Structure 1
Amino acid sequence: MSAFVVSTAHIDTIVSAAIDLEFFAARTDHGTLERVCHETATAFGKMLLAENVRSVIHRYRLTGGAEAFDYAELVATYTFRYRPCVRAGIAAKALDCFDYQSCETDNYEKSLAYAFTCRMAKALNKHLAGYEAAPWGIDDRIAATAH
């Protein structure tokens, strides 16, 4: 599997959607959930970007190299830029891409970034086209017409 460091615009898109969803997540190991808002956006973005960088460094064994230093600098200098009105489908795809690019380490599924992506994906479901009109329970009659 290959991996790349997503752009800061990609991170901004995810965090902007989280703000619009009034989403709560953990960004520190204390596990306390806090609202993703303009005041916390840079910190959440740095947390996500750092996990993505960690994945790429691990995948390509870049520890100690110039490229690893450049990635560390990218995380350190990241500042959130709000991108208004991100559609749910775009946010969901950006989240899936981020998750795929960030999963190279053995403990990714225990990371704050993974918890963030799982919680946000679930939150986004309710905003996808067709969600409100879809039936809550599916029986044989409904399954036969659900295409």
Structure 2
Amino acid sequence: MTKRILMCDDECHILHAAEIKFRRAGFELRTASDGEEAWEILSQESWIPHVLITDCQMPRLDGIGLCRRCRENPETRDMPILMLTAKGLELPQDEYADQLGVLGILSKPFSPRELLQCVEQIIETGTCKIPKVYL
């Protein structure tokens, strides 16, 4: 079965690099440029990914708001989420893990290889233990 990934980021170069890496690795990747667009994919199309990757800061609906919506919806409540951020360790890690159910936070800049490794670990084990991912 093809693994599905939904990636949400307002930086098109990040989406493009990830798209190349994930497709070459055999994943089905859908992208969104903000949280509202990602939520439309999740709620209207009944397309639930194996992992949601979302940036923290985006226009319209940020990653925190998207995570909250996902956790409130029975269909997306248990979906694994990986957060991307340029803020690094400024994020309240415990809050993200406990209240939003985020499995990891990956600091920008990162390589597409690191992102792929983390997603593969989340799918296989439910956690991500690469050096740049914390929580």
Report the TM-score when normalising by structure 2: 0.29
Q: Which structure exhibits the higher relative contact order, with contacts defined as CA atoms closer than 8 Å and separated by 6 or more residues?
A: 1
Structure number with greater Rg is 1
Structure with the higher fraction of residues in helix conformation: 1
Structure with the higher fraction of residues in strand conformation: 2
